[in-house]
Amino acid sequence: MPDTTCHMSISLDGFVAGPDQSRDDPLGKRGQELHLWHLGDERANEADEAAVKWLMRPRGAYIMGRNMFGPIRGEWDEDWRGWWGPEPPYHAPVFVLTHHAHEPIEMEGGTTFHFVTDGFDAAYAQASETAGDGGIDIAGGASTVRQALSAGVVDELALDIAPVLLGSGERIFDGVETFEMEPVEVLHSPLATHVRYRR
């Protein structure tokens, strides 16, 4: 089974996205505050740079939920190709969980979005077959990460804990019954405490 990672920014009160996600606020209201550590804030330091390297290391395949892929809900009624422009940062196959079938979308730089309608286990099986030794990353959002944690497939989880209280939004640990990981690295900056856990 390929090494499976997940890297999420999270608020002190446990939210990985704010409330009211939309096209204008893809991370929800105030959700971007969780990501200042890698968005060019002048307070970022060497710890944040190291965490960016954790986040951006290449993987053989990715899994994400439809809400992370875009703001469209229900049937596909427009030609949406993701938030990232013509060359997404993945450079590998991305398996998108959805209830609505869609033909694969090939992008520049080696990213192809594949749309999986028969659940997380099917997406994980396809990603495993494709990833080879490159490993799999669970890219988000919250529901997809919960499914991966509940399935017990995540080998490494990196959390960037921002000193922010969102009050509401999307959580990743609701309904996850066990956490059989231990911290193997902790880095600090004014913008986040970066904790890397391994199974």
Q: Which fold has domain 4-18+28-70+88-198?
A: Dihydrofolate Reductase, subunit A (3.40.430)
Please give the Cα distance from 183 to 198 (Å, whole number).
Answer: 6
Of 29, 28, 31, which is closest to residue 11 (Cα–Cα)? 31
| pLDDT of 1 | 64
Report the first-to-last Cα separation within the chain, whole angstroms: 14
Of 122, 105, 61, 139, which is closest to residue 114 (Cα–Cα)? 105
| pLDDT of 47 | 97
pLDDT in tens, 28-67: 999 999 999 999 899 999 999 999 999 999 999 999 999 9
Q: List, run by run, the mean pLDDT of 10-residue segments along the chain (199 residues).
A: 92 95 91 95 96 95 96 89 95 97 97 98 97 95 96 97 97 92 97 97
Q: How far is CA 120 from CA 63, 66, 106, 116, 138, in A?
A: 9, 12, 21, 8, 11
| pLDDT of 103 | 97
pTM: 0.95
Regarding beta strands 4-11 and 170-171, do their DSSP bridges make them parallel or antiparallel, or are they unpaired? Answer: unpaired
